[in-house]
Structure formats: C-alpha cells, structure tokens
Structure 1
Amino acid sequence: MPLPVSHHTPESEPRPTPHPLRTRSFRLLFAGRSLSLLGDAAIPAALTLAVYLATGSTGALALVLACAMVPKLLLLPLGGVAGDRFNARTVALTTDLVRCVTQLFVGAELLSGTPALWQIAVAEAIGGAAGAFSMPTVSPLIRGTVDASGLLRANALMAVVSSTARIGGPAVAGALVLTAGPGWAFVLDGASFAVSATLLAVIDVRHVPIPRRPLLADLKEGWGEVRSRDWYWTSLIAHAVWNGAAAVLMTVGPALFLSDLGGKGVWVVFLQTGAVGLLLGSLVAGRVRTRRPVLTANLGGALYLLPLCLLAVHAPVAVCVTAYGIAMAGLGYLNPVWETAVQSAVPAHALARVTSYDWLLSLGATPLGYALAPLAASAWGAEVPLGAAGVLVGAACLATALVPGVRHFGAAAATVKPTAESTT
C-alpha cells in the first residue's frame, strides 16, 4: 500500500534536537562532573593502598571503608528530600565543597608521613555523608539543564565519562602511588571537587519547588512515587540483585583467578575488558532508540549471568573474559537508558527522592553480597556462590519482562504533565 504523501512545508518540520553540549549549563555541568568522576575513580585504589601501607591491617582498611559506606546508606533518603526541597544545584555545590575539604584533609594526613587512622576514618565518614546528599542530585541536575528530547544523549554522555573514568582512574591512582605517594590522589580529587563547585555556581538549573512539610511526609511521598510504578520497583529489585551478584564476583573472583585461572595478570585483563565493555555499551545507548527502553535495559542487565555461570563451570579463560566484556556492555547500555526513563516519567518535584531510594536499594545489596559470598565459598567452594548469583541475576532481570509496566513503558508512558518550574 503506498504511503500517504506529506503536505508539510519545510517550515513545519520539527527542528532537530540540539546536542546537549550546545547548552551552556549542561556543558559546564558535564565538565565539572567529568573532573570529579575522574578524581573519584582514583580514590578506591589509592585509599586501600594508603591505609594498608600505613597500618598493615586489613581490619583497619575495613573500618575506613565502612566509615565511608555506612553514613551514605543511612542518609540517602534524607539526601533525596534535600534535593527536592532545595535546588539540586545548591545541594550539589555544598556537597562538592564538603568533599573537597575532606579529601584535601586526607591527602594532607597521608603526605605528612604520620597519618592518624581515626582522623582519616572521620574524614571519610563526613565525605560519605556528603555523598548521600550529592548522589540524588545528579538526575535533577541533568533534567534541569537539558530539554526532554536530549535526555538520553545527555545521560549517555555522563555514562561514557563514568566508564572512561573507571578505566583511567586506577591507572592515575597507580601512577600517583608509585611516584608521588597516595596522598596526591586525594589532593587531585579535592581539587576536582573545587572546580566542580565553581562551575555549579555559574549555571542555571530549572527547579520545581515543593511545599515545606514534615520530613516523614516527604519521605512517604517519595516512596509512594516508587511504589505506584510497577515498572520501577520491579526493576529496582532486579538491579539490586545485579549489584549483589557483582559483589559476589568481586569477592570470590580474585581468589579463583589466582588459584585456577591464570593469576593476577589475567584478573586485571578480566576487569579492564569489563571496563571497555561498559564504555562501549554507554556509547551504543546514546545512539540507539528503542520502543521499550526499560525492557531492553533489563535484558542488558541479564547478560551478567554469562560470566558468573561460565566461571562457575570453569569455562576457558578467554570465554569468561569475553563474556564479562559483553555483560558489562549490557550494564553500560542499561544505565543511561534507565536514567532517561526515570527522568522522563517521574515528576520533577519528586525526582531526587525517587533516585535516593534507587541508590539505597542498589548500594544496600552490595554489602550483602560481600558478606554472603565468602561464607558460601568457604563452605562449598567459589563455584556455588558464582553459579547461584548468575542464576539469580538472570532470573531477576528476565522476570521483569512479565510486568506489564516494563513491557509497555515507552514514549507515551513516559510523558509527564508539565509543571511550573523556576530557574535559580
């Protein structure tokens, strides 16, 4: 059947969506986030080496890591409320300044040659608390600086930078630790937060003010936004299982590679292949449009079952490495597509709170994986927790296809009624 002839004039054709980087506010936001992400990516390696070299104790290292993680988990819902009550730019700028000070302090402690463990632990706890308020602001900042039609591309750009930082960050940390000392990695990170705060101070971010109410009412409203969307809370369960499975791999994987799969060099290749896959998946997400974004994103997450199950059955190393690259490409695709779906569907006035619950569930599953994996591995061998994690993550992600909201989520379902917004 012949297609109908269009009678639109050139003037009536929709204008192409401008690239997000052509927008000044997003361009400055992107620059600041890129610097802080690179600085942050160098910290885990530098912190673990610095604390262990200073104390020689894995218990001391666990204490410092717990001090950074626990406040973040406890305060995330409050961070979501703050991100919605106040302009996300103001909250993010404040937390950048706090994290700048804490990282510079840790850097100075390490450079002094006689670092005090308790002071580093306190600084990391303060930085973790600031992170709880910073993380829920990312989605409101992107949505407040980019038009709806450019959200996917903007999120993909952010994901590309995050993936690149994950590749380059450990290399930067290693170079600094070997040449100048781990303290300089913290100085670099602190400086990146100072630049990010400066850039945030000069951008405009659209903001939907919400009425002042009791804190509990704000928390309940945010949770109500999560619970009212079947595609959201069911996907969150799948994503939490994914993070728990990733914790299992990071816990028992190194020992398995050291004992049976070629040693630490192969483990490094395995991780770097995953980082490259993550980057490639992020690049694909910015170019591919799908009618069912939430479904395809969750199917990408299901690919993580491949390396877990292959490692559990001791498949050839090359196959396991390739499978991990493919699985992380699925994650690289999932992240920006998921962020765009949430930013498109959730009302602007509740976006930070909803995002905070997302982070809370995801981060909360990670310590569970860290705790259970060694117990299971010591009782039954590493193959059992790896295989179980693979089956669980595959089942959880694939099961979301049975949810009507996941299958039918698309452009029409993602439309949110416009709300009055103010620019600050």
Structure 2
Amino acid sequence: MASLREASAAPLFISRVISSTSVGIGQVALAWGVMGMGYGARELSLVVACSTFPALLILCGGVIGDRFRRHHVLMGAELLACLAWLALGAAFTMERAPLPLLCSLAGLSGVAAAIFMPTVRGIIADLLEGGQRRAGNALVSQTEALGHLIGFVSAGAVVTLAGPASAAAVRGTLCGISAVLLSRLMTHRPGRTRSGPIRELREGWREFTGRPWVWIMTLHYTVITAALVCYMKIVGPLYTENGHGGALAWGVIGAAQPLGALAGAVIGVRWRPAHLVPVTVLLPMSVSIPMLLMGGEAPWPAIAAAALVPGAAQAVYYVFWTTALQDEIPHAALVRVNSWNLVTGYVLMPVTVLLSGPLVVGFGLQPIVVTAAVAAIAVTALTLLVLWVLSRARSIAGAGEDPAPVPIRASEVTAG
C-alpha cells in the first residue's frame, strides 16, 4: 500500500478504480441495452463482436505506447471511450436503434481498448523503480478489481432501476474523469526513432519470440481467453436472463471475480512458490469452475461464490506475469511485447463471440459452456506437458535455460 503514497503513481491507481468501475457498468449496459430493444442472441453476438474486433489493432497500440509518452496514450484512449459510450447511451434511448449504429459505436469503444490495454501494462515501468514494481503491479490489479467490483454490483441496480441508457452514460462520464486523472502523471519521453512502424513491430516480435516462456504462455492464455469470452460475453448474460436472476444476478456474478482479485493481488505480492512454473500455468484454469457449475444449471448464488476462486487466481497470475515482463523485457520494447502477448489472445475474441450466439441457439447454453470449461482444462494440461518436455530437452542438451513463464531467482526459490 506504500505505492499509494508515491505521488508519481497515485493518480494512476485512482484512475484505475474509476475506469474499471465503468467497465463493469458498460458490460451489463451493452448486453441489456441490445436485448432490451428486442434483439436476440445472434444480434447480441454481432454487437459484442464489433466491440472486440478492434482488438486486432492492439499491435498498433503497442507501437503508439512505445513512441509517445505513455500517460498521453492512455488519456487519448479514455477520451475516445468517453465519446463512444456517451453516444451508446443516446442510442439506447431509441425505441430500436439500427444494428449498424450499435455495431459502429461498440467498435469505437473497442478501438479505445486496443490502444489502452498494452500501454497500461507497461506504464508501471515508467512510474516505479524495479524493486517497487511487484507491489505496483499488485496495486494496479487491486484497484482494477475494486473498480470492477463496484461496477458489476452497481451495474445490475443501475440497469434495473434507470435503464441501459443511463448506465452507458455513466460509463462514458467515468472514462472522462479517468482521463483527467491520467493527465497528472509524468512518464518518460521516448527517444526519437527513424524506423517505421513495421520495423518497430518486427523488433517487438523478435523480443517476443526470442523467449520461449513468453510465447508458450501466450498461446496457453489464448485458449483461456476464448473460453472466458464465451462465458462472460454471451452465455452468462443469456443464462441469467432466462430465469436465473436477470441483470441483478449477472451483476453479482460479475462482481465476485474482482472481489476474489482483491485478496489475490495480496497473495501475488507475498507468495513465492517453490514450483513456480506449474503454479503459474495452473492459475488461469480456475475459470472453468463457475463454467462447469453453469453447465450443471446450478443456482446463480452458487456460481457467484465459485467465481471468487478464478478472481483470486487471475490476480496472482497478473502480478507474476506482468512483473516478469517488466523485469526481463527492454524498456523501449515493453509495450510492443505486451501488444504481441495480448493480440494473440484477443484475435480469437470476435470469432468466439460471433460463433457463441449461433452455437447457443443450435446446441443450448449448457453444452457450450461445458465445452469452454473442458477446453480451458485441456490446454492447461497440454501447456504443462510442453514446458516439461522443453525443460527436459534443454537439460539434456546442457543449455540450462529455464523455460518458466516467470523467471525464477535463487532468492525466490529459497523463500518458497
């Protein structure tokens, strides 16, 4: 918590609470805003897919984040999100807004997210020294979790009592406040570069592929992300809307994960597991627990309780992973490596969302969510096997290089 007293970083943490609160509100507002106009699963899939499709621009966001002052990049992304969500709020006041309009505005919010995501993962390296980064990353995770918690809890009530239009307007307003807070930060001015964007992307790609632990874990999390998107974006809202508690229940379920993350971030700072590789790989698999319960048609309070576990596990994973990248990747290429890491996970998001609606219509909610859970479990087992084989092969070859997703230092092994 001492990081909160760092004047150089405190506005970031406050901004993350406010902006993350808006994310939770926006997710519920978008789903119920579309469904409230009489659109079904297919149309909901299309609109949500349009909000995720710009994730393909994450690579551009990586180049921007390494070329300009990083707090300026975050400010611009928040202002763009502010405009998009205020416009969505206006659209939700219509009796039945045209689907192309909803798709376009959702896509604009996705562009803002594509610029924001890789840069926010690297900004702690600008604001805090190496010894403070682990705690700083944990506090970023905690403040985001606190914001998501507030957002999801309040979203159900706002959508139920005031409607999706008001919820979307709140999302846009909070993004604007976040941009003002980010303007108080001071980040490094990048050195001038004469290389073009394509060459810069290639340099980031070399840093990304030159470390097997980075791309192996990235492929693993790609499948986890696809399963989570299916569950969070499509199946979950449809499940609760069809006789399992409605918007209020989905708000509580969504809030359970960030509630667990509040504790998980503390664990991530203090925990030094002796077997860091398998622990880090296993953490994201916990997302399958609430999915399997939903597949068994469990009551929504049970699903909400189960969602605490992946919430905590994801926060620990974030601290391990983000700190490792900030410590091991050159500062000048950090955001580009983050962009390569993120884009592989998000590139399947539009396809996943587009397919989820029709698949739910064709096969039903329960078979689809169970399949997503099984995919998360299977890819985790495969990743553990690949890392073990790679470790054995290098050991035999005498290379002595550790393929762990988080580099292990002697002091950490002793502490563990």
Task: Please give the range of the TM-score, normalised by the shorter of the 2 chains.
Answer: 0.7 to 0.9
1:152 aligns with 2:134: yes
1:108 matches 2:90: yes
Q: RMSD across aligned C-alpha pairs, in angstroms?
A: 3.6
Greater displacement, 45-54 / 157-166? 157-166
Which residue of 139, 145, 164 maps to 2:146?
164
State the AA in 1 paired with 2:30: L
- Closer, same or farther in 2 for the Cα pair 1:309/1:193, shift >3 Å? closer
1:131 and 2:129 matched: no
Q: Using the alignment, how far apart are the partners of 1:263 and 1:352 within structure 2? A: 41
Aligned 8 A contact 2:287 2:373 in 1: no
Give the partner amino acid of 1:37. S
Do residues 339 (structure 1) and 322 (structure 2) align?
yes
Give 1:263 shift: 4.6
What is the identity percentage for the equivalent residue pairs of Structure 1 and Structure 2? Answer: 27
**In structure 2, C-alpha distance between the alignment counterparts of 1:316 and 1:401, rounded to whole Å:** 38
Provide the secondary structure at the position in 2 that maps to 1:406.
coil
Structure 2 contact 121–322 (Cα < 8 Å) conserved: yes
Q: Where does residue 48 of structure 1 map in the other structure?
A: 31
The corresponding residue for 1:330 is: 313
Check 1:292–1:151 CA distance in 2 against 1; reply closer, same or farther (3 A cut).
farther
Number of residue pairs the alignment of both structures matches: 394
2:11 to 28, 36, 43: 28
Partner of 1:357: 340
Which residue does 1:201 correspond to in 2?
183
Contact 1:210-1:349 at 8 Å conserved across structures: no
Work out whether residues 103 and 190 of structure 1, in 8 Å CA contact, stay in contact via their aligned partners in 2.
yes
State the partner residue of 2:268.
Answer: 285
Instruction: Return the alpha-carbon distance in structure 2 between the equivalents of residues 104 and 128 of structure 1.
Output: 14
2:407 to 406, 409, 414: 409
Cα distance, 1:219 vs. partner? Answer: 1.1
Matching residue within 362, 375, 390 for 1:389: 375
Preserved CA contact (<8 Å) 2:125 2:326: yes
Give the drift of 1:324: 4.8
Contact 1:73 1:364 survives alignment (8 Å):
yes
> Residues 226 and 349 of structure 2 are in contact (CA less than 8 Å); yes or no, is this contact kept in structure 1?
yes
Inter-CA distance 207–152: structure 2 relative to 1 (3 Å threshold): farther
| One-letter amino acid of the structure 1 residue matched with residue 403 of structure 2 | G
Matched AA of 1:378: F
Q: How far off its partner does 1:312 sit?
A: 7.0
The 3 A distance-change label for structure 1 pair 301 and 61 is: closer
Pair 1:213–1:396, CA change in 2 (3 A) = same
Structure 2 partner of 1:15: none
Q: Contact 1:304/1:394 (CA < 8 Å) preserved in 2?
A: no
Deviation at 1:228, TM superposition (A): 0.3
Alignment of 1:266-281 (within 5 A): 273-281=256-264
Deviates more, 1:190-199 or 1:384-393: 384-393
How is 1:222-371 mapped onto 2 (pairs within 5 angstroms)? 222-250=204-232, 263-264=244-245, 273-290=256-273, 295-304=278-287, 324-367=307-350, 369-370=352-353, 371=355
- Alpha-carbon distance, 1:162 to partner: 2.3
What's the CA shift for 1:275? 4.3
TM-score for both structures, normalised by structure 2: 0.81
Answering whether residue 45 of structure 2 is matched by residue 62 of structure 1, we say: yes
Contact kept in structure 2, 1:301 and 1:331, CA below 8 Å: yes
What letter corresponds to residue 241 of structure 1 in structure 2? V
Query: Higher mean Cα deviation, 225-234 or 96-105?
Result: 96-105
Task: Provide, for residues 128-186 of structure 1, a one-character-per-residue CA deviation record: whole Å limited to 9, x for no partner.
Answer: 11221111110222111111111111111121222233333122222222333322222
Q: Distance in 2 between matches of 1:111 and 1:257?
A: 23
Distance 1:308 1:49 in 2: 21
Deviates more, 1:246-255 or 1:274-283: 246-255
CA offsets 1:57-99 (integer angstroms, 9 cap, x no match): 44443332222111x2221111111111111112111122222
| Length-normalised TM-score, structure 1 | 0.79
SS of 2:121's equivalent in the other structure is helix
Check the 8 A contact 1:305/1:394 in 2, yes or no.
no
SS, match of residue 81 in structure 1: helix
The one-letter code sitting in structure 1 at the alignment partner of 2:138 is: A
- Residue type at the aligned position of 2:22: G
Other structure's SS at 1:286 match: helix
- CA gap of 1:243–1:80, structure 2 versus 1, over 3 A, is same
Q: Which residue is equivalent to 2:197?
A: 215
